[in-house]
Chain A
Amino acid sequence: MGYIAKIHNMLAQKEISCAELTKEYLNRIESDNAALKAYVCVTADEALKTAEAVDKKIAAGEEIGLLEGVPMSLKDNMSTKGISTTCCSKILTGYKPIYDATVWELLKAQNAVMLGKTNMDEFAMGSSCETSYYGGAANPFNTNHVSGGSSGGAASAVSGNLAAYSLGSDTGGSIRQPASFCGVVGLKPTYGAVSRYGLIAYASSLDQIGPVAKTVEDAAIVFDAISKPDKRDSTCLGAKGGDTFSQLGNDIKGMKIGIAREYLDGVRDDVKEAVLAASEVYKSLGAEIVYFDLPVIKYALPVYYIIACAEASSNLGRYDGIRYGYKTEHYNGTHDMICRTRSEGFGEEVKRRILLGTYVLSAGYYDAYYKKATDLRGTIIRAFNDAFASCDVILAPTVPMTAFEKGHAVSDPIETYLTDICTVPVNIAGLPGVSVPCGFNSKGMPIGMQLIGRSFGEAQILNAAYHYQQAAPENFKDTKWGVKL
């Protein structure tokens, strides 16, 4: 049983009140967050207010929904009315949105208990959470290691039992990579399945919001709750593959699971072995393993960085010190004020990506980089479509390695970009991908595998993930932190 169902039953059967449960989570955040740094903002008053409303319903004998009263958290790039939303950047210090992101509006309507906002790489730009203005979140399996990023706080909070689930966002792997590093489940939905309204934009054609959870059931329940069409995001169609939770457990005998050889190139041996061992589990469950080539994904990483940075340079143009957030103290003229505000407000990685994005969009370089990258994006999409003619689901590593030690990522940007090599193709092609724990290395750090589906094929990949979870529960380990249910 997943954590959400477990909490739901505890509340419905009055084993614990929602206020007691919420206080337990808040107490553990107070004691454990100093080490994990999963949260950058704790919303205790709001959480307790919602918990009391849920308790009143239960006391009145009313039925409660599955997500009602379940303590959760949101990544700090999702707008929450009246609650600090900073993208973990100095430039958004003090910013309190005047509206809610659609995902939060949907969950709030179900009386989800938000415990706070989680840590992240600044503007979701990073793979270790260490570009956060507040310092990075730690890995609950070993706090000397990074949580991964950019949704590092979300993965750390869930792995460390400081939230039953969390919402992250994934532009190039930012849900799946930290989920892999922290030994939890992370789903990046199909582009257009979940509304981006109120998600502070990094790269609009790649960004998607999705759940980070302890189990596949939990990820499915949350995905079903947030994947609704939204007229405020014209690209959002909602889930088109039906309710995913009710499809968990469907037979996977005869399912064709594809492995692209290129995904295994350059991957550390322990990760490769764990992924291949998972393919053996699938064989024993009656699935068929099919190997194929996907040579075009070798261009995925540069294509991703060109497109993402180009879009970021445009999206981050809005931070000018005039309408919200940080403003420089000393300046001489408007141009000087804007330049100083931005130079003082953005961190190094964000500035690097804005400059790179501006470069590839500037006259003389647009055709060679941006135009070429978007053309190749079409080629990558076609290659995935062709691959899905011969398989139902693609199995790959989530990250070529396990969580590295703190401080390692900061030293070399290119080497850090390479950690995204297995996750970015999914964003480029707009496909759904879920990271699932599939083993541990010799030092006890989690290894994740990725299941990639056809467009709007969330039900299929979550079902495949669910069967693996049932067959290999030893890979879903708990940590010593947080609330023990």
Chain B
Amino acid sequence: MVTREDVENIALLSKLFVPENELDSLTASMQEIIDFADAINNAPSSEDGFDNINNLSNVFREDEVVPSYPVSEILKNAPEQAEDHFLVRNRE
């Protein structure tokens, strides 16, 4: 059962605001999707397990130094920047 409190908590974890007047409809919508997802709980328990598609295992390589992107390039897309850093103001 998805509650209003669940949705408020999930929204907080997701860093999304849900306006008060949309909370009930979103809770109902989430409940509907969770009911749909609940179908998997009717499946027989599985012991197949899953790790990754092509059964790859981790390998290590030599730690080679390669050129990185210039700071000026990386900062080009930042909404705000100052002195070679991303700028995050506490207030607008």
Which residues of chain A have a CB within 8 Å of any CB of chain B?
Answer: 94-96, 98-99, 191-192, 205, 234-235, 237, 296, 298-299, 301-303, 305-306, 313, 317, 320-327, 329-335, 337-340, 342-343, 346, 351-352, 354-356, 358-360, 362, 368-369, 372-379, 381-382, 413-414, 417, 429-430, 455
A355 touches B79 (CB 8 A): no
> Cβ of A430 and Cβ of B53 under 8 Å apart?
yes
Nearest A-chain residue to B38, judged by Cβ: A302
Q: How far is the CA of A301 from the CA of B40 in the complex (A)?
A: 9
Give the number of residues in B that approach A within 8 Å (Cβ atoms): 48
Chain B minimum-CB-distance residue to A191: B53
Q: Is the CB of A331 within 8 A of B40?
A: no
Q: Which residue of B lies closest to A352 (CB)?
A: B29
Q: How long is the Cα–Cα vector from A358 to B37 in the complex, in angstroms?
A: 14
Asked whether, in the complex, the Cβ of B77 is within 8 Å of the Cβ of A95, the reply is: yes
Give every chain B residue within 8 A of A355 (Cβ-Cβ).
7, 10-11, 14, 16, 26, 30
How far apart are the CA atoms of A16 and B47 in the complex, in Å? 61
B46's partner among A298, A340, A375 (CB-CB below 8 A) is: A375
B33 touches A321 (CB 8 A): no
Taking a contact as CB atoms under 8 Å apart, the answer to whether B13 and A98 are in contact is no
Partner of A377, one of B6, B50, B90: B50
* Additional A-B contact list (18), CB under 8 Å, known A305-B36, A339-B15, A356-B37: A98-B73, A192-B56, A235-B53, A237-B54, A299-B39, A302-B40, A306-B37, A306-B40, A321-B79, A325-B79, A333-B90, A351-B16, A355-B11, A359-B2, A376-B46, A377-B50, A379-B46, A430-B53
Instruction: Give the CA-CA distance A346 to B15 in the complex, in Å.
Output: 12
What are 13 pairs between A and B in contact, CB < 8 Å?
Answer: A96-B76, A205-B53, A301-B36, A302-B37, A322-B79, A337-B88, A337-B92, A339-B17, A369-B37, A372-B43, A376-B46, A377-B50, A455-B54
- A331 to B53 CA separation, bound complex (whole angstroms): 43
Instruction: Please judge, given known A-B contacts A305-B33, A322-B88, A355-B11, whether A299 and B54 are in contact too, CB under 8 Å.
Output: no
Q: Which 8 A-B pairs have the closest CB atoms?
A: A378-B48, A430-B53, A324-B77, A378-B50, A327-B79, A375-B46, A343-B17, A379-B46
Q: Is the CB of B40 within 8 A of A369?
A: yes
B21 part of interface (Cβ distance < 8 Å): no
B50 touches A374 (CB 8 A): yes
B74–A98 CB distance below 8 A: yes
B13→A322 contact, CB < 8 A: no
| CB of B24 within 8 Å of the partner chain | no
Question: How many angstroms from the CA of A355 to the CA of B92 in the assembled complex?
Answer: 27
B77 touches A96 (CB 8 A): yes
Give the distance to chain B from A98, nearest Cβ to Cβ, in Å.
5
Question: Smallest CB–CB gap between B16 and chain A, Å?
Answer: 5
In the assembled complex, the CB of A297 is this many whole angstroms from the nearest CB of chain B, namely 11
| Beta-carbon contact of A414 and B53 below 8 Å | no
Residue of B nearest to A375 (CB): B46
CA distance A373 to B38 in the complex (A): 10
Which B residue's beta carbon lies closest to that of A335? B15
Query: A306-B40, A413-B29 in contact; A323/B77 too (CB < 8 A)?
Result: yes
A-B contact count (CB 8 A): 153
B78 to chain A, nearest CB (A): 6
Q: Are A324 and B78 in contact, CB atoms less than 8 angstroms apart?
A: yes
- CB-CB under 8 A from B43, the residues of chain A are 296, 299, 372, 376, 379
Q: How far is the CB of B37 from chain A (nearest CB, A)?
A: 5
Do residues B37 and A360 form an inter-chain contact, with CB atoms below 8 A?
A: yes
8 A Cβ contacts from B40-86 to A: 40-41, 43, 45-50, 52-54, 56, 69, 73-74, 76-80, 86
Whether the Cβ atoms of A334 and B90 lie closer than 8 Å is yes
Residues of A within 8 A of B47 (CB): 375
Are B77's CB and A325's CB within 8 A? yes
Contacts of B45 in A (CB 8 A): 375
Q: Whose C-beta in chain A lies nearest to the C-beta of B35?
A: A414
Q: Which residue of A lies closest to B76 (CB)?
A: A98
Distance in angstroms from A330 CB to nearest chain B CB is: 5
Could you tell me if B56 and A299 are in contact, using CB atoms closer than 8 angstroms?
A: no
Given the known A-B contacts A302-B39, A362-B10, are A191 and B54 also in contact in the complex, defined by CB atoms under 8 Å? yes
Question: Do A299 and B29 contact each other (CB < 8 Å), given the known contacts A321-B79, A322-B78?
Answer: no
Q: Is there contact, CB below 8 Å, between B14 and A99?
A: no
Q: Shortest CB–CB separation between residue B31 and chain A, in angstroms? A: 11
Q: Which of A98, A192, A317 is close to B54, meaning CB atoms less than 8 Å apart?
A: A192
Q: Does B14 contact A313, Cβ atoms closer than 8 Å?
A: yes
- The answer to whether B41 touches A98 (Cβ under 8 A) is no
Contacts of A358 in B (CB 8 A): 10, 13-14
- Least CB distance from A369 to B in Å reads 6
- CB <8 Å contact, B41 and A368: yes
A379 → chain B closest CB, angstroms: 4
Report the Cα distance A278→B53, complex, angstroms. Answer: 30
Choice from A99, A322, A359 contacting B86 with Cβ under 8 Å: A322
Bound Cα distance from A401 to B79, whole angstroms: 44
Determine the chain B residues whose CB is within 8 A of the CB of A378 once the complex forms: 46, 48-50
Which of B17, B40, B89 interacts with A340 by CB under 8 Å?
Answer: B17
